[in-house]
Structure 1
């Protein structure tokens, strides 16, 4: 059985693995969201009655802007979190771990809000297509 945390790993190594996994997941999520938003906007704009979707398109454009900003912030964060490797005391580690927790709250809030918008988009498309 392949264990994620081996017995020979130190606490710092384990924290680093979890942080790196979060970062990889976030990068992939934000990249996929960008592609989805582009797809949704093209789909909604291609509809005959696309004026019905104008409000939804505006919301998607706002999420697209937020996604782009968050992706830029993630790149900055990745460079910043690299400083965790240089920590030699608990105060330094605590600073970076608290920073990670705060960034995680922000990004997870965005992901939650985007999923709500995506669900609304699916429901609106499905409702209009079944009428």
Structure 2
């Protein structure tokens, strides 16, 4: 008879897998945003351009630091999940569930923060690029 993992372990591993996949995409987006904010496509005449781009760069550095911390937490948590197999007490299950929910909250908070700054950057840069395009068409 084959023993299978408890459903909760499979669900936890699946959560971590999805989170890591999303983080991989975010890493690519961050590289794009860094290239965008460091590019020379913006008109130097744009009011407060330097300050705004520096503001975005600062936020991206903070996002990258949080992302590194989150990846470390996810990697450690994923490795620790195998410990659930050796644990057959309710308190052990509660420990892993509490830990998982804590990391899930950290992940969601990161995603919310990242989404806000990404939207702010794209809206700002998009407005400048549209403005430049309309001036070019005159």
> Same fold judged by TM-score > 0.5?
yes
* Cα drift, residue 13 of structure 1: 2.3
| 1:39-61 Cα distance to aligned partner (Å, 9 max, x none) | 10111111344624111111112
Does the 8 Å contact 2:37/2:53 carry over to 1? Answer: yes
Per-residue displacement from partner, 1:79-111 (whole Å, max 9, x unpaired)? 222211211111111111111111111111111
Aligned to 2:91: 91
Q: Is the 8 A contact 2:73 2:103 kept in 1?
A: no
1:70 maps to 70
Aligned to 2:8: 15
Stretches of structure 1 that go unaligned for 5 or more consecutive residues are 1-9
Q: Which residue of 2 aligns with 1:115?
A: 115
| Unmatched 5+ stretches in structure 2 | 132-138
Q: Aligned partners of 1:18, 1:115: CA distance in 2, in Å?
A: 25
One of 35, 38, 45 as aligned partner of 1:45: 38
Runs of 4+ with >4 A deviation:
none
* The 10-residue stretch of structure 1 (55-64 or 42-51) with the greater mean CA deviation from structure 2: 42-51
Which one has more relative contact order, counting CA pairs under 8 Å at least 6 apart?
2
1:7 maps to none
TM-score normalised by length of structure 1: 0.84
Secondary structure (helix, strand or coil) at the match of 2:6 reads: helix
Coordinate RMSD, CA, aligned = 1.9
Residues 16 and 78 in structure 2, CA contact (< 8 A), matched pair in contact too? yes
Q: Give the paired residue count.
A: 122
- Which structure has the larger Rg over C-alpha atoms? 2
- TM-score of the two chains, using structure 2 as the length reference: 0.80
